[in-house]
Amino acid sequence: MADRPTYRRLITAQPTIPLLALIALVCWPTPPLGGTFCAASELRQTPVVRAVQKARESVVNIKGEKTVPAAGAQVSGTSPGRRVNGMGTGVVLDPRGYILTNFHVVEGVRQINVTFADRTTCVAELIARDTDTDLAVIKVAVDDPLPVIDLGISTDLMPGEPVIAVGNAYGYEHTVTRGIISALQREVQVSDAQFYNNLIQTDASINPGNSGGPLLNIDGEMIGVNVAVRAGAQGIGFAIPVDIAMSVASRLIATSAAATAWHGIETDDASNTPGDGVRVASVEENSPAAKAGVQSGDLITAVNGVNVQRPLDFHREMLERVPGEKLEFRLRRAGEPVSAELAMADVPLPLKPMTSPAWDVLGLELQPIPADDFKQRSTRYRGGLLVKTVRENSPSAEHGIRPGDVLVGMHIWETVTMDNIAYVLRRPDFASLNPLKVFVLRDSETLYAYLPLNAQKTARR
C-alpha cells in the first residue's frame, strides 16, 4: 500500500496527450495552415469533390415570382394569368456582377432574387437576352469582386466523359449531380416556341431549377449551360455547349457595353475557343479605334494589361467604360507586337435621324417618364416610355398595344430613352429582328407582342 501513492505520482508526472490531440497527430502531421489531411480525408477529396469546390462560389441560385398568361395570351389578351414562383441557376461571368443564365428563368420575373453559395442574397436586373438560344445576362450590384466560373471548351468533348451539374434543383440550392456525356449534337424540341440544336446530352440529373447552371468537366471547368430535361424521361438532360453559350454571352455583353461608350471595333467572334487573342474584323471610320491606329486583321492580345484569349474577354473589358477613358491595347500585326492608346468616345447618333421613328415604324407616340415617377411603379425595369397615342391600323394597334401602356423593351434592349428606340430601329441587322418582340407594362403586368414591321422604313438616310 505504501507504494501506491508513488505509482500514482509517476503516472500523473508523465506528459498526457488528449485523445483528440493524438488523433490530430496521426491524421494531421503538419500544422493546419500548411498541413495535409489524414489518409481518409485525402481519399474523400475525389476529383468530383475538387471540381465542385472549384466552381461552387461562382454558381448562384435564382428565384422570382412571375405571371404566367393564359394559353396564347399576349398583349391583346384579357386574361390576367396566374402567379408562379420561378427558380433557376446562373454562373458569374465577370467579377463586377454579370451573371449568365437561361432567359426563361428570368423572363417576366417581377424581382430577380439571387442567392450566393454563402447564402447572401441580392436583387439582379436583366441586362440583355437572346430568345433564340434562351440565354440572358443579369447583373447584381457588388461591393467586392465575385469569383468567376472557369471556362472550358466544348470542341473536344467525348461521349462517356464524366460531367457534373450544379444547380437549384427543385429549389434545393447548390445541388450537385454527376454522370457522363451520353451524346453530342442533339436536337431537342422543348415546346412550340423553343427548339435547341447541337446540345450536349447527359445522364447527370438535371431537374427544374437546374436551368442556367453549369455542366462541369472533371477539372471544374464549365463545358455547358444546362437548359432542358426531357419530360417523362429519366436520366436524360441537355446543355448548351460552352463555346456556343460564350459566343452569345459575348454578343449580349457587347450590346450592354455599346450603350455607354464607343470604341469602333468589330471583332471576329466566329470562334470562342481560347487562343492567342481576338482578331479585329473591321474598324469604323473616324472611330476611336481608327484614330488610335487599330487596323482590320490586328490581333488584340491585351487591354489595360488584361490578357485577351477569346471574344468574351475583350467585351468584358469594354463593360462600364465611359467617354474619354483611355485604354492601352496590345496588338499583334503581321506577327509583330504593336501598342495603341484608345480613348473611348460618346455613342454616335445617326447623321440624319428620323423625326419620329417610333411613330413611323411602330405606330406609337412615346413620352419619356421621369426616373422618380417610374420608380413609384415598383418594377424590376430601369425605366420605360409612356405610350401616348397609337396610330390606327399600325402594327402596335393591330397587336393590342394601347395608350397608357409603358414600353420597356424591344428584342434584347431596354427602352428607357428615345435614343434607345432609334438605336434598335436603325440597326443594320434590323431585318433579322422582324417580327420585333416588344415588352410593355400594363398596370403591374409585363406583356409582350411580336410586331411585323417594314424594315425599309428604318433604313439610314
121/370 Cα distance (integer angstroms)? 29
CA neighbor of 166 nearest in space, from 151, 177, 179:
177
Give me the active site residues, please: 104, 134, 211
Going by their DSSP bridges, the two strands 214-216 and 413-414 should be labelled as: unpaired
Grid cell for residue 322? 465611359
Each residue's pLDDT tens digit in the chain (461 positions)? 444 444 333 334 444 444 444 334 344 444 444 444 455 577 888 999 999 999 999 999 999 876 555 444 455 444 455 566 778 999 999 999 999 999 889 887 878 999 999 999 999 998 888 877 889 999 999 989 999 999 999 999 999 999 999 998 888 888 999 999 999 999 887 666 667 888 999 999 888 889 999 999 999 999 999 987 766 667 789 999 999 999 899 988 988 888 788 999 988 877 666 778 899 989 998 999 999 999 999 999 999 999 999 999 999 999 999 999 999 999 999 989 999 999 999 887 643 333 467 887 888 888 888 887 887 776 778 889 999 888 877 888 888 898 889 999 888 888 888 888 888 887 777 777 778 889 898 877 888 888 887 643 333 32
The separation between the first and the last C-alpha atoms of the chain, rounded to the nearest angstrom, is 116
DSSP assignment of 406-436: EEEEETTEE-SSHHHHHHHHT-TTGGGGPSE
CA neighbor of 100 nearest in space, from 195, 270, 308, 242:
242
Q: Which domains are present in the chain?
A: 3-45 (no CATH), 51-259 (2.40.10.120), 265-343 (2.30.42.10), 357-458 (2.30.42.10)
Q: What is the pTM of this model?
A: 0.67
150/142 Cα distance (integer angstroms)? 20
